[in-house]
Amino acid sequence: MREELQKFIDTIPAVKDAFRLKETFWINDKKVPQAQQPAAALHPDQIEDARNRLERFAPYLEEVFPELKATGGIIESELREIPGMKDFLNTAYGAGIEGRLMLKMDSHLPISGSVKARGGIYEVLKHAEDLALEAGMLKETDNYRVLAEPKFREFFGKHTVQVGSTGNLGMSIGIMSAKLGFHVIVHMSADAKQWKKDLLRGRGVEVIEYADDYCAAVEQGRKNSDGDEMSYFVDDENSKNLFLGYSVAGERLKNQLDRQNIPVDRDHPLFVYIPCGIGGAPGGVTYGLKQIYGDNVHCFFTEPVHACCMMLGMATGLQDQVSVKDLGIDGRTDADGLAVGRPSAFVGKVVEPMLSGIATIEDKKLYDLMRGLLDKEDIFIEPSACASFGALIRPTELKGYLEKAGLTDKMKNGTHIAWATGGSMVPEETRAAYLKMGL
């Protein structure tokens, strides 16, 4: 262990819990009201820019992915109320949830079946657009359906896209890049599941496997890419484009809540719980939601006990200068989408003034929650996604937060959203194996 971390273990209870491999719930005391948000590394206008870009690409996406016909090329997931799961959490965990419990089903996002179908696909599209604009082959005012033509596939085929991944990011980047015609190399860490590698290879993606963890796969991928001027590296540790792709979810969610006549205001608070790996996905969604709902939305991240990197980075203020391994934590978790030992270099700083807190959860509970959701709602989500219930099953800490925020008497009118970040592409036999885990 790094010696200078001892003072954080001694003074911050959540860090002490993490060090002892105990579940914890860190409340962020650096959160400030929306009106006092400092200028960040990003500007809200950039969300608008990302949204417009996704709209430009919609005709192309509709053309090449039949499953996007229904939405006219927009990649979006259902927001569904899950009253049976609410009863289950209240009964089995004494969660005491009042108000509505909903599931944001990014687990069922088209194309790649995880939240990465937001950020990952967005970043590939942005890169493709940049290249085509620069080559004079495309104008922003064109109908982007033309990108399906052979001359574009041929053009993109001279370029390489590379990414390091624990699995799901590689799936999004791989599937989308291959569809456009890019040569694509996915550097997979040891946590990545075999079926993801098989699926990608089946789509013409080059998959390189590493015996080491996620950081090592990223490092190698970056090195590979930097040595090739025709290669572009999707940098999960630093990427603003990924973050912006995720942030578009904020406005999309607002439209869905509006359509379902679910109010969000001072008397109807919104609580959102998002599983966190390196931080890009939950950070981007949080950033997007905060621009819309300000103080009326309360965002929490959830992480595995063994991969609580964002909690450590934010609670200590060290951000990406600390890794779980520095505390002697092994980073091993069945929640492969969250198996990250060191947080993003910029997300922690961006969300520091707006995030409500971070809960950690033991792996074995993920399987119980998985079975509960399947049993009560007939919805299957993967272990990582089940972490979205991790804060809701810690009623004592949540109660403390509500009291401090003066929200206790408002929660019966509130809405909780668990962000289910992945699952629909998990093969049948893997599902069956998951459902028997931890029994």
Ligand X SMILES: *Cc1c(COP(=O)(O)O)cnc(C)c1O
Site residues for ligand X per CB under 6 A: 114-116, 168, 275-282, 337-338, 340, 382, 384-385, 421-422
- Residue 117 token pair: 């179908």
Rounded to 10 degrees, what is the CA torsion of 403, 405, 410, 415? -110
Shortest distance in whole angstroms from residue 369 CB to ligand X: 14
Distance CA 321, CA 338 (A): 18
By beta-carbon proximity to ligand X, the closer residue of 253 and 411 is 253
Residue with tokens 């990250």: 340
Instruction: Please answer whether residues 238 and 246 qualify as being in contact, where contact means their C-beta atoms are separated by less than 8 angstroms.
Output: no
By beta-carbon proximity to ligand X, the closer residue of 244 and 276 is 276
Shortest distance in whole angstroms from residue 413 CB to ligand X: 29
By beta-carbon proximity to ligand X, the closer residue of 278 and 315 is 278
Shortest distance in whole angstroms from residue 350 CB to ligand X: 13
Shortest distance in whole angstroms from residue 214 CB to ligand X: 9
By beta-carbon proximity to ligand X, the closer residue of 326 and 382 is 382
Amino acid at 343: P
Distance CA 391, CA 266 (A): 22
Shortest distance in whole angstroms from residue 63 CB to ligand X: 27
* Sign of the C-alpha dihedral computed for residues 119, 70, 251 and 426 taken in this order: negative
By beta-carbon proximity to ligand X, the closer residue of 177 and 344 is 344
Shortest distance in whole angstroms from residue 117 CB to ligand X: 10
What is the gyration radius of the CA atoms in the chain, in angstroms? Answer: 21
Amino acid at 87: D
Bridge-based pairing state of the strands 297-304 and 79-81? unpaired
Shortest distance in whole angstroms from residue 98 CB to ligand X: 26
By beta-carbon proximity to ligand X, the closer residue of 269 and 280 is 280
By beta-carbon proximity to ligand X, the closer residue of 200 and 281 is 281
Shortest distance in whole angstroms from residue 65 CB to ligand X: 19
By beta-carbon proximity to ligand X, the closer residue of 174 and 279 is 279
Of how many residues is the chain composed?
Answer: 439
Query: Could you write out the DSSP letters of every residue in 168-228?
Result: HHHHHHHHHHHHHT-EEEEEE-TTS-HHHHHHHHHTT-EEEE-SS-HHHHHHHHHHHHHT-
- Residue 370 token pair: 């998985």
Contacts of 5 (CB under 8 A, 6+ apart): 15, 316, 322, 326, 327
Residue 308 is classified by DSSP as -
Distance CA 156, CA 128 (A): 7
